Amino acid sequence: MKIPLALSVLSFFSSLVMSADLTASLTEIERESTGRIGVAVIDTKDNKLWNYHGHDFFPMMSTFKTLACAHMLYQVDRGQIKTAKSIPVTKDDLVNWNPVTEHFVGSTMTLQSLCNAAMTMSDNAAANLVLKAIGGPESLTAFLQRNGDKATRLDDIEPQLNYVDIGSKRNSTTPLTMMKTIEKLTLGSVLSEQSKRQLLLWMKANMVSDGLLRAVVPKDWQVADRSGGGVNGSRTYTGMIWRKNRDPIFIGIFVARTKYKTVPELNKLVRTISVAVLEEFL
Cα–Cα distance between 109 and 269 in angstroms, integer?
Answer: 36
Question: Using the 8-state DSSP alphabet, how is residue 85 labeled?
Answer: -
Examine the residue annotation and report whether 15 is marked as an active-site residue of this protein.
Answer: no
Between 136-146 and 124-134, two packed helices, what is the crossing angle to 10 degrees?
70
- Taking CB atoms within 8 Å and a gap of at least 24, the contacts of 257-260 are 257/35, 257/36, 257/166, 257/232, 257/233, 258/33, 258/34, 258/35, 258/36, 258/233, 258/234, 259/33, 259/34, 259/35, 259/233, 260/33, 260/35, 260/233
Cα–Cα distance between 266 and 212 in angstroms, integer?
Answer: 9
Query: Terminus-to-terminus CA distance in the chain, angstroms?
Result: 29
- Per the CB < 8 A criterion, the answer to whether 38 and 238 are in contact is no
3-class SS of residue 26: helix
Q: Which of 33, 62, 195, 274 is catalytic?
A: 62
Active-site positions read 62
